[in-house]
């Protein structure tokens, strides 16, 4: 991903599960072909069949904002204590000890990390507001008017419907569902499972625990509109010619339209408007939700990247003691089952990003270099940051998705690696001695130890 030097944020991607790329460039054709000539916007239903899963390295897009301190990705001089001076979501810090090498090849054994909530030993319940900001995407034509499909006259306006909002608020992020570690919210059970020994007084199989929880409370906020310039949006109409089964937006354009471009933020962008309206605060975990809107970089042949977690970095005010403000958030599409990928749907994208956000809210939890490899087919992945979903995203022979039921509906959430896997702990300190959640059998082996940068010495 290219660096966007004018970006008013500290953005880091954890695309993981939903980072897709076309297997071949979509050709320009006439009539009902893939792309209408001279339009540069409409795709055929057939074109979506070429989109396939692929990984996007987390560090490809670097946060940049002239004159501002950077606390996020690719800044390994930062440690977990740095964020103490910030006004942001509830968090706690700790470290694990394991030999490894940083990005520069320097040997170290102490790896600090920061996570959402409170220390597991505290026994406290942390309740965090989780505002959901629906995003309406409107495609514009060459004249700045709403784009109309040249064949049907359909206006390209993609909205998040009330049914989608209801489905999200009733999803496993906010309603209880069942896991081997207990019944409750997906993210709460993820955190409890990976720190099972710490909430059970060191007894992994104890029937007693200290009552530690991290809970989310959703609320629907004012919808915000993203006006996408001509040439920066592609779409596929629904079978009834309504808008739209699928929308792809240029990622650089979305950055500019979503994140504030001034300091302090004004209301000209979706995030800036939500901040100024009080719809999201520094104490929240916000979701900016779309309806099947994916991302590409540069041209449609790179489609599609799916979702990311990040934060908007704003200056402090006298009201908060002039502490810089970090608005922790994620951008995720609702995925209609069967539109693109039969194995993924509904909140699959959101679960990947929210799991990584809970484990690494400020994108600063560096780890020893690790490599995860599909047990049957290979496909190794190499990184050095605590991105829990990325460990498993390239697996084919074992499940990436875990299905769970709430309100009579089956939802699809991702399997993720827990902290013991990154820390190289054997046996794992997590529930059932597992390295993954919710499916304890998705990840059964540790990364090769003592890997050099970019896993150059991996076996």
pLDDT recorded at residue 82: 52
Cα-to-chain-centroid distance, residue 391: 14
pTM of the predicted structure, to 2 decimals: 0.88
The residues, ordered by sequence, that sit 6+ positions from 421 with a Cβ below 8 Å of its Cβ are 370, 391, 428, 435, 436, 443, 446, 447
pLDDT at 47: 67
pLDDT at 13: 38
Q: Alpha-carbon distance 193 to 24, whole Å?
A: 41
pLDDT of residue 396: 83
Contact 258, 288 (CB under 8 A): yes
List pLDDT tens digits, range 92-118.
Answer: 999 999 999 999 999 999 999 999 999
Structure confidence at residue 295 (pLDDT): 87
CA angle 112, 118, 121 (to 5 degrees): 90
What are the DSSP calls for 142-170, one per residue?
TTSSBPB-TTT--B-EE---HHHHHHHHT
199 CB contacts (<8 Å, ≥6 apart)? 120, 121, 123, 192, 209, 210, 211, 212
Per DSSP, the three-state class of 357 is: helix
pLDDT score for 103: 92
**Residue positions counted in the chain:** 459
pLDDT of res. 48: 65
Ranges under pLDDT 50 in the chain: 1-40, 53-80
**pLDDT of the residue at 342:** 61
Q: What is the largest CA-CA distance in the chain?
A: 67
Sequence-separated (6 or more) residues with CB below 8 Å from residue 279: 131, 133, 221, 222
């Amino acid at each position: 991903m290219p660096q966007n030097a004018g970006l008013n944020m500290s953005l880091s991607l954890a695309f993981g599960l939903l980072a897709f790329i076309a297997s071949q460039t979509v050709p320009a054709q006439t009539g009902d072909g893939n792309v209408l000539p001279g339009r540069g916007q409409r795709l055929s239903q057939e074109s979506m069949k070429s989109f396939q899963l692929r990984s996007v390295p987390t560090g490809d897009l670097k946060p940049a904002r002239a004159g501002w301190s950077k606390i996020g990705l690719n800044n390994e001089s930062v440690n977990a204590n740095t964020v103490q001076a910030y006004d942001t979501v509830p968090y706690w810090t700790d470290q694990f000890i394991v030999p490894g090498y940083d990005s520069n090849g320097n040997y170290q054994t102490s790896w600090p990390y920061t996570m959402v909530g409170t220390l597991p030993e505290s026994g406290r319940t942390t309740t965090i507001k989780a505002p959901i900001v629906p995003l309406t995407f409107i495609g514009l034509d060459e004249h700045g008017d709403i784009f109309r499909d040249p064949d049907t006259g359909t206006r390209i306006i993609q909205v998040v419907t009330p049914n989608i909002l209801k489905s999200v608020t009733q999803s496993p992020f906010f309603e209880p569902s069942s896991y081997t570690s207990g019944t409750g919210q997906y993210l709460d059970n993820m955190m409890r499972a990976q720190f099972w020994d710490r909430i059970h007084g060191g007894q992994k199989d104890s029937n007693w625990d200290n009552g530690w929880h991290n809970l989310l409370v959703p609320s629907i906020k004012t919808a915000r509109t993203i006006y996408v310039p001509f040439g920066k949006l592609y779409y596929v109409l629904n079978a009834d010619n309504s808008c739209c089964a699928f929308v792809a937006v240029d990622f650089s354009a979305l950055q500019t339209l979503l994140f504030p471009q001034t300091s302090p933020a004004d209301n000209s962008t979706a995030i800036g408007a939500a901040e100024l309206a009080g719809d999201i605060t520094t104490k929240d975990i916000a979701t900016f939700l779309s309806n099947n809107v994916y991302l590409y970089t540069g041209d449609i042949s790179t489609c599609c990247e799916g979702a990311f977690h990040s934060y908007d970095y704003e200056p402090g005010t006298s009201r908060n003691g002039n502490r810089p403000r970090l608005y922790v958030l994620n951008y995720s599409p609702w995925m209609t089952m069967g539109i693109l990928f039969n194995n993924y749907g509904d909140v699959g994208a959101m679960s990947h990003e929210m799991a990584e956000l809970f484990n690494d809210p400020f994108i600063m939890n560096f780890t020893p270099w690790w490599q995860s490899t599909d047990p049957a087919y290979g496909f190794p992945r190499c990184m050095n940051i605590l991105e829990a979903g990325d460990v498993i995203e390239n697996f084919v022979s074992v499940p990436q998705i875990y299905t769970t039921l709430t309100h009579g509906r089956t939802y699809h959430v991702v399997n993720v690696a827990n902290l013991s896997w990154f820390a190289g702990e054997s046996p794992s300190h997590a529930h059932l001695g597992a390295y993954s959640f919710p499916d304890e059998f998705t990840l059964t082996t540790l990364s090769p130890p003592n890997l050099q940068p970019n896993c150059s010495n991996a076996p």
